[in-house]
Structure formats: C-alpha cells, structure tokens
Amino acid sequence: MTTPRRTRVAIVFGGRSTEHAISCVSAGSILAALDPDEYEVVPVGITREGSWVLAGEDPAQLAIEGNRLPEVTAASGRAVVLPADPTSSGLMVVDPADGVAVLAGVDVVFPALHGAYGEDGTIQGMLEMAGIPYVGANVFASAAGMDKEFTKKLAAAEGIPVGPYAVLRAGNSLSDADKERLGLPVFVKPSRAGSSYGISKVTDWADLDEAVAKARQIDPKVLVEAAIVGREVECGVLEGEAGGAPEASLLAEILVTTSDDEFYDFDAKYLGDGTPYQIPADLKPDVTRRIQESAARTFTALDCAGLARVDFFVTADDEVLLNEINTMPGFTPTSMFPLMWAATGLDYPKVVDRLIRTALRRGTGLH
C-alpha cells in the first residue's frame, strides 16, 4: 500500500524588518504545531541582511530564552533561493559543491514574517510570481494593512470609526492646527511597523521632534494619533471555510494596569511575565457583537484572506474605535491571535491546519 504524500509546507521566517526575532518565535511555534504525519516542513530562514537559508527543524532553536531573542544567520543552514518561475514550484538549494539543486515541489508557503519585506506585500508578490500558494493576505491587503494611514482610510470609507490622527510624510512637521485638534497626550509611531517598535507617548509638545525622529528611524512616514482613553480590545478573524464569510473569535482585553506599562510596548508583549489579558473580554454583549462585526468588516474592507488580528479601543461610553489590523499577527505562545481562537474552541494546531487548507483551496492569483 502506497503511503499518502504529505503536504509540503515551507515556513519562511526571520527577515529584514525590526520584527525579525518575533517572526522566528512565531515560526518555531508553527513548526511545533504541524502534524508530521500530514505535513513535511521546509524551514526557510531569512537573515537580517536578506539572505535565505534552509534552517534546522528544531523549534527550540527559535524560542526566546530569558531576554535572548532568536536570530537567523548565514550559519543557520545552506543558502536557498526562490525562483520567480511558476513552473518550478520549489526552492533551489545553492550548494558550492553540487551547484544549484531544486528541492521537490513546495505545496504551500506559510510566510511567518512580520513587518517590512514580509507583511507588507513584498514576499506575497514574489510568491504570486512563483505560482506558489501561501497563507494570508494578498499583495494589496498586505500592503494596505501594513500601512496604518491606509488602514484607517479604508476603514473610514466603510463607516468604521477611527480616532483622530495626522500623517507626517518625509520632511513634514505637525501643524499648530493639528496640535490643537489632537491635543495631548499623543502617540507617535511609524506608519509601517509592528510589535510596538518606534512608538513614543508624547505629553509635552517640546518632546514631539524627538519622538518623530525615533519613528522615522523605521519609516519616513509617521502617524501622530490622539490618545484614546479607553480599553484595548483585540479580535481574531479567520477566512471562512470553503469561501464562506469571515469568522470572528472571542475578544481579548489587554490589561495595562501599572505605571511602568503606559502602553502595550515590546517588552510587555514578549519579555518577562508579559502583560495580563482577559479572554473573553468583559464587555456588554452589544459591544462585543459590534467589535466582532467591525473586525469582520475591516477584514473584508481591506480584501484580506487567511487571517488577521483587528485591534480596537472601547471608550467609557462604549464607543468602538479601530486602532489597527495585523494581516500576519504574532504566532508566539503568548500571542493574542492563537489564544483568542483557543478560547473560541479552535486550538493552535487546528488554526494552523485551517490556514494551510484555506491557502491551498484559494491557490494563487488575485484573490
């Protein structure tokens, strides 16, 4: 009896963005969740410089140990390239001794990449050109979701409320009129970044230039957002099975309660004991329903596929305001997306399995 062929999944992680380490942790968790009887995994790491290597398959090598963050280096494995040839459907191993050898066809790619060059449509375009199905949003949705300015504009066009903000493109500064409109405090952040990198809370306009300069180290386009006094609530969204409507998870509330955690920063997310959360969020049923509906509408408004985590603020009078969307949210053991779906009844391995199945069903091309 012939053994059924396993689905060949390339997990791509690391990358050139500031979120390199978190991508590694996400990839390790995904790798550990895949059933070896059903999936053959090809771990592909991308160094901070952009080189691709065929990495090892031990998830422990991709975990955070204390305050040490994992990293892909050139020594992590043999060099590989992805040919932009839709007839090859594979990765090529570049070996000085053997020349260039093509690995057996890859059925699907799971781009566990966060931030620039991974979550912004760049690798999605490469995979489209190569004709390889992949998990997650397409080129447009990835680019629009990565850029907080256009996320807000597309959401507002669909009638989804967003908070007051201003956009500072390269060379621009905040006008006096915008300062009066936004008030203090404000949050200054790169328009295209994640994991709370480059974000500053400004309580005195004298500190604005320094905060903008910090954000521009990551992205020349900067957002200045009015502080919203309220609760931080997140919702996971999955593409519907067999082409159905997107589905929303139970909600999570981020409980930032101490003076040290004025906002949900990188250390609070990934280092130490983490920031406490509550799933499901303790909200009125009507507020929960409105957030879940808004999350699914945002997913559709950006033409997303696969998955997304949509973040909101809820004010004291139960007004719901969109904060941002993440089209490839973190998949670490402490990440909200898998935790919300586990509470909803879909555990981590089932979420990963569903994402791969929907990607294979969708195939390649515009979707």
Omega into 43 within 30° of 0, i.e. cis? no
The enclosing domain of 323 has a CATH number of 3.30.470.20
119 and 212 in a single domain? The answer is no
357 falls within a domain: no
Stretch 96-111: mean pLDDT = 77
Could you tell me the CATH number of the domain that includes residue 36?
3.40.50.20
Q: Do 187 and 279 share a structural domain?
A: no
**pLDDT score at 36:** 94
Q: Can you tell me which residue has the tokens 């957030």?
A: 291
Tell me if 278 is assigned to some domain: yes
> Percent of the chain having pLDDT more than 90?
70
> How confident is the model over 249-277, as pLDDT tens digits?
999 999 975 554 455 555 555 555 566 89
Confidence of residue 367 (pLDDT cuts 50, 70, 90): very low
Query: Do 128 and 277 have their domain in common?
Result: no
pLDDT at 43: 93
Mean pLDDT of 118-123: 94
CA separation for the pair 359, 36 (Å, rounded): 19
97 or 260, which is more confident: 97
The residue whose two tokens read 């139970």 is 250
Across residues 173-201, what is the average pLDDT? 92
Decide if 364 is inside a domain: no
User: What is the CB-side half-sphere exposure of residue 25 using CA atoms within 13 A?
Assistant: 23
Shared domain for 150 and 37, answered yes or no, is no
pLDDT at 260: 47
Residue 223 has what pLDDT?
97
42 and 99 assigned to the same domain? yes
How far is the CA of 123 from the CAs of 44, 55, 154, 269, 281, in angstroms?
Answer: 13, 18, 23, 26, 34
Residue 2 lies in a domain: no
| 237 & 320 share domain | yes
38 alpha carbon, distance to own chain's centre: 26
| Cβ-proximal residues to 267 (8 Å cutoff; 6+ apart), any chain | none
Say whether both 101 and 220 belong to one domain: no
Instruction: Between 150 and 89, name the one with better pLDDT.
Output: 150
Q: Does residue 355 form part of some domain?
A: no
| Span of 36-40, 85-89, 126-130 with lowest mean pLDDT | 85-89
Angle, CA of 312, 197 and 50, to the nearest 5°: 120
Residue 299 has pLDDT above 80, yes or no: yes
Domain span at residue 173? 165-226
Domain count, the chain: 3
Residue 1 lies in a domain: no
216 and 242 inside one domain: no
| Lowest-pLDDT choice from 114-118, 212-216, 266-270 | 266-270
Asked if the structure places residue 359 within a domain, the reply is: no
Q: Which long-range contacts (CB under 8 A, 24 or more apart) does 255-263 make?
A: 256/232, 262/201, 263/187, 263/196, 263/199, 263/201
According to DSSP, the residues that pair with 40 across neighbouring strands are 8
Q: What is the mean pLDDT of residues 129-146?
A: 95
Tell me: the pLDDT tens digits for 217-251? Answer: 999 999 999 999 999 999 999 999 888 899 999 99
Say if residue 217 is in the same domain as residue 320. Answer: no
Tell the burial category of 108 from Cβ atoms under 10 Å away from its Cβ (0-12, 13-18, 19+): buried
pLDDT in tens, 28-68: 999 999 999 999 999 999 999 999 999 877 787 887 776 77
Residue 326 reports pLDDT greater than 80: yes
Residue 361 lies inside a defined structural domain of this protein:
no
Residue 163 confidence (pLDDT) above 70: yes
